[in-house]
């Protein structure tokens, strides 16, 4: 018989039990603030949780925001509907948004989705059709730097770009496609000097597993943690692509995870409420759990 991994059951806590995100995404830990951030894409909202006091704040954006990363000079870089933006979150729920760049060619009905920085501080994000029911691979993966602006597409023919992450040494890049027509995770060799991925290869085919690959994180062992959307699981793969651990979470549709906390040993997991039963108290929740291992800190945008 094949070796079947039994999911770990780990105690979880909700940052704020009355917050339910239509499409929760992009959790971030900001160490110097001791605070967590995440977004609700469909509600056009950015949330903040103060880890010390438990206080929760929010800001509304003019467009749907798919992802954001801290910027070394202050504020955030974000992927939205009409392009990439620099965001400053002002008191009173006000967002000061400065448009940075947009793809040279982009069709109506698309937005940026998953995004984060490589270990050198270059920002990467991909586009997708907002209507996921349209089975068309119209998405592209882009790189953005302050000096060079937005790149031409590095990877094309993506349905729902997701799962971006880099190994601790930055020399391996990971990318997934969440759409039911794909459900693949790829690995690339990554040139840290030029910021160029090459040697694309299949890392994991999740069509043979429970759930679809969504957002991801890296731990200090270089293992790749990815949310298994539709399955209520967080999966950990070794650098060789072997599934060696899975954690059950109380939400059916976890979207993205991020390591943080004072010792980087806490995992924040966002999720989706849209399409779930109205009486499902966990649908759309954003939870904190302790998986028993430290994660790797995310790099800020070097702009």
Q: Which residues contact 150 (CB under 8 A, 6 or more apart)?
A: 83, 84, 100, 101, 102, 103, 104, 142, 143, 144
The answer to whether 79 and 86 have CB atoms below 8 angstroms apart is no
What lies within 8 Å, CB to CB, of 29 at 6+ separation is: 35, 36, 258, 259, 260, 261, 264, 268, 297, 298
Q: In what order do the strands lie in the sheet with 12-13?
A: 12-13, 287-289, 266-271, 254-260
Residues 6+ apart with CB under 8 A from 30: 36, 37, 70
CA–CA separation, 204 vs 200, rounded Å? 12
Beta bridge partner(s), residue 164: none
| 8 A C-beta contact, residue 288 and residue 12 | yes
Return the residue matching tokens 């003019």.
62
Q: Residue 7 has which token pair? A: 């999911």
Beta carbons of 133 and 123 less than 8 angstroms apart: no
Catalytically annotated residue among 114, 177, 214, 219: 214
214 catalytic? Reply is: yes
Q: Which of 111, 181, 100, 164 is nearest to 139 (CA)?
A: 111
Q: Which residues contact 10 (CB under 8 A, 6 or more apart)?
A: 247, 248, 289, 290, 291
Give catalytic residues, as residue numbers.
214
């Amino acid at each position: 018989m094949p070796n079947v991994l039994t999911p770990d059951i780990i105690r979880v806590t909700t940052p704020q039990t009355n917050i339910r995100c239509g499409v929760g995404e992009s959790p971030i830990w900001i160490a110097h603030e001791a605070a967590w951030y995440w977004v609700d894409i469909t509600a056009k909202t950015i949330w903040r949780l103060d880890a010390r006091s438990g206080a929760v704040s929010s800001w509304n954006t003019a467009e749907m925001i798919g992802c954001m990363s801290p910027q070394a000079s202050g504020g955030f870089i974000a992927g939205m509907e009409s392009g990439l933006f620099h965001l400053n979150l002002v008191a009173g729920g006000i967002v000061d948004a400065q448009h940075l760049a947009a793809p040279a060619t982009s069709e109506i009905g698309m937005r940026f989705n998953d995004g984060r920085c490589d270990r050198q501080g270059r920002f990467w994000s991909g586009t997708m059709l907002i209507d996921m029911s349209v089975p068309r691979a119209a998405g592209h993966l882009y790189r953005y730097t302050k000096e060079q602006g937005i790149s031409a597409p590095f990877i094309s023919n993506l349905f729902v770009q997701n799962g971006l992450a880099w190994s601790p040494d930055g020399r391996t890049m990971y990318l997934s496609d969440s759409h039911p027509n794909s459900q693949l995770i790829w690995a690339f060799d990554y040139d840290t000097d030029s910021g160029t991925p090459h040697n694309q290869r299949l890392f994991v085919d999740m069509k043979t597993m429970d759930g679809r690959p969504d957002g991801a994180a890296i731990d200090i062992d270089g293992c790749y943690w990815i949310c298994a959307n539709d399955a209520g699981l967080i999966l950990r793969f070794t650098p060789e692509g072997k599934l060696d651990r899975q954690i059950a979470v109380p939400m059916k549709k976890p979207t993205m995870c991020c390591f943080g906390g004072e010792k980087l040993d806490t995992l924040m997991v966002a999720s989706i409420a849209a399409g779930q039963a109205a009486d499902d108290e966990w649908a759309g929740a954003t939870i904190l759990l302790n998986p028993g291992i430290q994660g790797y800190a995310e790099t800020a945008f070097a702009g």
